[in-house]
Structure 1
Amino acid sequence: MATQRTNITTSLKIKVENGTTNTGTVKYATRTFSSINPEISDEDLLAVGQGLGALQSHDVGDIQRLENATMITG
């Protein structure tokens, strides 16, 4: 039987630099944008992330796409 994904949700996470630790390692804070249309292409979501990242006062360290889905056999 084929496996299907249902209840797919997508979110966009932008990690921004948020200071340094005592040892000099960069610390990050995460900005999360939920309820993103799961049909959005990776290229379009990256463009949105870069646009939102440009609005941040801190430097962007990483842009992530996260998907969550229920797996069923059917």
Structure 2
Amino acid sequence: MATQRTNITTSLKIKVENGTTDAGAVKYATRTFSSINPEISDEDLLAVGQGLAALQSHDVGDIQRAENATLVTA
């Protein structure tokens, strides 16, 4: 049986440095932007993420793309 992906949602996540632990490791907070068009290219999403990251007062660790989908039998 074939499997089909449905209900695909995409979000943009920007991890920013948010202090340090008692051991001195960097802690991160994640800024999430939901309801991104799943058809956006990785290059365009990265450009948007970099633009938003430039507005952050904290140093940026990562820019991530997250996708969720429902799998059903076709």
TM range (shorter): over 0.9
**What amino acid is the match of 2:47?**
A
CA shift for structure 1 position 2: 2.3
- Runs of 4+ residues over 6 Å off in structure 1: none
Which structure 2 segments of 5+ residues have no match? none
Corresponding residue number in structure 2 for 1:7: 7
Q: Secondary structure at the match of 1:23?
A: coil
Corresponding residue number in structure 1 for 2:62: 62
TM-score (norm. length: structure 1): 0.95
Which structure 1 segments of 5+ residues have no match? none
Q: Percent identity?
A: 89
How many residue pairs align between the two structures? Answer: 74
- Inter-partner Cα distance in structure 1 for 2:29 and 2:59: 11
Q: Secondary structure at the match of 2:57?
A: coil
TM-score (norm. length: structure 2): 0.95
Corresponding residue number in structure 1 for 2:50: 50
